[in-house]
Structure 1
């Protein structure tokens, strides 16, 4: 509609005014950066040549502080610094992006806390076939209350082993039953912890 078009144009104009006439998408954002953690880096002398990658929505673009030789050769090595790693962990989360951002995209796509991102935002967690457990859900970053985790998250390995051995004995099954692929697959489908509990 006409009203929506006008509102969008007004928003774009106000964003450009805030950035001194520049589109905010093209400006490097250093909000929240701790330069004390990045002693050997500085702001890049210029922005990257190509189209700004989506990875910089989740990280800073910094440059290696240059020596006199590098300045003379006009070489600038640029790096991606993961927002989450920089602000939450001791690990660096720093990846060189001088020629391509694919390594930064791979870092952001890692299946770990604060990551699992793509250019479209948070990836949808796909749980393996079978029953999802508290453990697999927590690994995928699903928020679970302490009360629920304590109530459901305790698999009794010794109790399961005893029940499995009694099942073998009472039903006169050979011990190799535990080693068969189909039996292991069935347990894995039911609960990965059960399959892991057997010797």
Structure 2
């Protein structure tokens, strides 16, 4: 069975935008991921036709606050913090990408290679993911799907290697692009109705 979670819209950010180390946790992790952008609506899309609803692909980082993630069975709290879903820098169409399974994905922290795999090594491929998701709800144009990450995340090290202010996380996916984001401490974002507290 595939396991999924939502990220909040405020998690989305772009290339070069800072990823915040939350004020409420220091257990900020990185996950280099292929991102799928949906181009046509689809419901109950069979895997063999899944690519018909894909507009293109991009690079993404599924930043994860591990203690908050573990505190909720849905993982949404730990996965949905503001700034924790940067993706980009471009939408690359399927014809430009070629054979997804053959492409390499890599994740670097401060230039150090931490994650490396072929997209074909994923437990569930993109077509299977689209078929599964569209069995539950309609996928719509503009939907963004983060597809899973290779081994090597910070939580997998002993001791864990969390992201900290001053770090840079880079995602490289062959034929798709390079996404790099700095990591900073969360600024004073406390507000009500747009007014700072």
Q: Which has the higher strand share?
A: 2
TM-score over 0.5 for the pair: no
Q: Which has the larger radius of gyration?
A: 1
The answer to which structure has the higher helix fraction is 1
Normalising by structure 1, report the TM-score: 0.23
Per the normalisation by structure 2, the TM-score is 0.23
